[in-house]
Structure 1
Amino acid sequence: MSEIFEKINKGEGTVGKILTDEKLYNQATELTKRADQSLSSIIAELEKVSEIFKGLGSGVSEVILNVNNAVAQVDTIISEVHQGRGMLGQVLMEGSRYDSLFTITMTEIQKTSADARLAASRLAENMEALKHNWLFKSYFEERGYWDKAEYEDRIDASLRELDEKIKLIEKRIEVLRKLEEKEIVGDKDMFAQIKASEMNIKKGKTKEFNY
């Protein structure tokens, strides 16, 4: 050991040259500093992307919740039609001032559907972009995020669920349009189909309307 330290003190060997040559020492120190900064920057960026991934999942859940709420709202409106209750029931019975309220409700429901489609499209694009970025791909593979049995499949499942919700709300919008146009007033067969659809929804099923 004493021989090694003696050589270092004399500036012999790689370590000795670095420690005794001020220029080399400063360069080595600067390189180390830059490497630390670069590593810290990369880690910070990767952590940001990790948060983005978490946000994608929660974002889909929020959109699905909004669509579920809109579907429930439409189901309530349809069920009230049978007894002439609610604003749509008043529209059908009287064609009164409730027309404007119905238009507002339809606009809000259609916006929810459009927002859901946009969210699904953006989520799919973000997933594809991140999957093909070499830096992010290797990072998430190491952490298990890219396991097809886990993270990506969960996102895919969320997208499929969102697509089903969008189809469901679009069916409801079509029913409301027909109700608004008074095409099915007094049509007992149509009301029976709506009633049956409501029962299927409660059981976790969906039923096509035969127009």
Structure 2
Amino acid sequence: MEKTTSQKIRLGLFVIIGLLIFILATYLIGDKQKMFGNTVHLATSFNNVNGLQLGNNVRYSGVNVGTVRNIEMIGDTNIRVDMIIDEDIFKHIKKNAVATIGSDGLVGSMVINILPGSGTAALVEPGYEISSLNRIRTDDLLNTFSKTNKNAERLTENLLKITNEINEGEGTVGLLINDMAMAKDLKTTMSYLKTSSQKTSESISNLNRLIASLNNKDNVIGILKDTAVANRMKAIVSNLDKTTVEINKTVGNVNKTILNIKDGKGALNYLSNDPGLVRKIDSTMTNLNEASIRLNEDLEALKHNFLFRGYFRKLEREKLREQRK
């Protein structure tokens, strides 16, 4: 059956549209994989790529800047990853940048994240290998969780054992919880300790006040701290030392005098040991008294004598004038 012209036209349009769609898809995929733009190679190494595949995206500060070009096993714990980076972004990457492997969402494909470097580090050159930060593997996480679960199980068993012992009254804590008498004794002891602490605090406060009052000049310590008073005290002590020396000399002289008296030397010895001398002194004193009495009688007789009467009256008048004045 021969095709009509309209069918041929439709077939041609279908082929052309399909070709355009293929070209557009190829361009979009190539642009996404950085196949048509200017790109630069950059490398890094990991000990585990965690499912990273060729063509996965490379991000710099969260922006897609390239793709994974090649993954090569260098050693049993060293895997080299070659990346192609957009030339416009490549000039911003520093040598202290760090590459990590992450996932694109919860269930997305793996991506390489390049963390920007800090400071004034130099920029990378084409083919430069930046350092990497290895991601914790799932197996390692599971092993860690397994150990954590075992430790948690042991901890739970120990806690149950301790709780049972406490409930049964075993151990110090069990006795404190279940023994009411001990709890009361402990409460009383704590009360005494509290009272003692308060008394101690009061004593310390009083001691602090006493120490602070030592600087006051109204008390003995404060007076002694005064330089002028200290100098006076020093002078008084010096004078006391001198006085003590003089007293010692006087006491020595008195002792010497007493020894002389005991040895029969001096006038006191004669007075105390010679009865005849004492009687003579007593007779002399008696004669002096009698002479004094006779002299008074003679003076009284003179006062009444007409020759001396005027003189004594004159003396009496002068005494009266002086008394009146």
Q: Which category of TM-score, normalised to the shorter sequence, fits these structures?
A: under 0.3
Normalising by structure 2, report the TM-score: 0.19
Instruction: For CA contacts below 8 A with separation 6 or more, give which structure has more relative contact order.
Output: 1
Normalising by structure 1, report the TM-score: 0.28
Structure with greater helix share of residues: 1
